[in-house]
Amino acid sequence: ERSHYETDLEQSRFYTDWKGWTSVVLPFKYINNLIVVDVNLNRLLGLKFIFDTGAEHTILTKREYSEWLGLDFTRKYTIMGADLKTELIAYLAQKVTVKVGPMISLNESILVLEEDYFKYAELTGLDIHGILGADFFRKYIVQIDFDNERITLHKPEHFKYNLKKYEEIPIEVKRNKPYLDAKLNIVGDTIRKVKLLMDTGAALPLLLYTDIDTTLTIPLNAIPGNVGRGLGGYLEGYKGRSERP
């Protein structure tokens, strides 16, 4: 069942024409395992957003910029934090112009957090203002070149497949987010099948939720502590290594 804010975000979706282009290139900086892109909102303010395949919607984490940008909030929502306990406040802003590189999207709907719950500056040392979610690029084939720090968005009808350059991995897309099936060995010789979210916004090579699958065994040499930061604060967990890839 979809939430009210997800429905509101989808209803106002509209993408501009690319004026004959078949692909666009979006430059980025790779900082602390995060893809950081330059984003301009309402043709007024240049900001830095995280390119996040694990986020369904685009989010402005700095509410103080909303007045400068002339954003009007049409709804207020209560959403759950990363700990699934803390209640957080977000606002819906509609008819927002979003520009990333040469790509301009009109009439976007974004979420604006009441507070900067992510606090990315503590993680990256860089002032991050928001998240560019999958709703912005979901209609395109996404090619990420980490060596040259650029993202290429291709129109599917014009993309030329050359499977010699790629390894094909089946994925499942749910709510605009890509999931893949994998096999994992954590302890001993037991191989487990897991479903993983391909999340460029996590800044971690692998994150497992033992509360979702209680049969996952935590290695004896795993170290307890903060494993990352999510919506609403730090994530408590264990850091360790799997025995084989």
What pLDDT shows up at residue 9?
Answer: 52
For the chain, what is the mean pLDDT? 81
Write out pLDDT tens, residues 120-150.
777 677 889 999 998 888 888 999 999 999 9
What pLDDT sits at residue 189? Answer: 67
pTM of model > 0.85: no
Range 28-35 contact pairs with CB under 8 angstroms and sequence separation of 24 or more: 28/149, 28/150, 28/151, 29/149, 30/146, 30/149, 31/124, 31/126, 32/123, 32/124, 32/125, 32/203, 33/203, 33/204, 34/120, 34/123, 34/124, 34/200, 34/201, 34/203, 35/144, 35/151, 35/200, 35/201
**What is the domain partition of the chain in residue ranges?**
4-163, 169-239
Please report the pLDDT score of residue 6 as a whole number. Answer: 54
pLDDT above 70 covers a percentage of the chain that reads: 79
Looking at domain 4-163, its CATH class is mainly beta
